[in-house]
Amino acid sequence: MARRVLALIAIGGLLVSCTSSGPSAGPVSATVKEWQITLSSANLKAGSLTFNIKNDGDKEHEFVVRKTDKKADALPTNADGTVVEDSPELSEVGDPSEVAEIKSGSSDRSLTLTLQPGHYVIFCNLHVEDLVHYQKGMHIDFTVT
């Protein structure tokens, strides 16, 4: 009997999570590693949002957030392939608008931003030992509505 009740509660929880639609109000779980950045949701709700960042990789990474109309894979770049972080086409969205030096294995870094509706990108802009992390694929788009 108790087991059946628990099963019904579990099913009810699944139905609720499936039927709730629209943007996520956060917090957002973000993972950085070689060579990608992933988010628990890429459709976020405007307002104050916290990104809890985990480095699942073997290398140090960073987490740079900018508001821009450009797609994450088509940002303005320097001659070495890194992103032009202070390009007029990219807007900072907080002070700071990024988290640097995220050590391998760490999960205690976070970034809270107040976000307006629009299109945003996150990228890692490290260039270490001939590896340009942005060019290796460390970028992602997200939208705020």
49 vs 126, which CB is nearer to Cu ion?
126
Q: Which is nearer to Cu ion, 61 or 67 (CB)?
A: 61
For Cu ion, the closer of residues 56 and 92 by Cβ is: 56
* Residues numbered 3-62 forming contacts with Cu ion, rule: CB under 5 A: 61
As a 3-state breakdown, the chain gives helix, strand, coil percent values, each rounded to 5, of 15, 40, 40
Asked if 139 interacts with Cu ion (CB under 5 A), we say no
Which class for 136: exposed (0-12), middle (13-18), buried (19 or more C-beta within 10 A)?
A: middle
Site for Cu ion contains 102 (CB under 5 A): no
Least distance (Å) between residue 131 CB and Cu ion: 8
Cα–Cα distance for residue pair 113/103, rounded to 1 Å: 21
Nearest to 89 by CA among 121, 48, 49, 127: 121
Q: Is 126 in the site for Cu ion (CB under 5 A)?
A: yes
The answer to the question of residue 133 lying near Cu ion (CB under 5 A) is yes
DSSP-derived letter for residue 91 is B
The reply to whether 72 sits near Cu ion by the rule CB under 5 A is no
Q: Which residue has the tokens 């140090």?
A: 60
Q: Name which of 115 and 138 has its Cβ closer to Cu ion.
A: 138
Binding site for Cu ion (CB under 5 A): 61, 124, 126, 133, 138
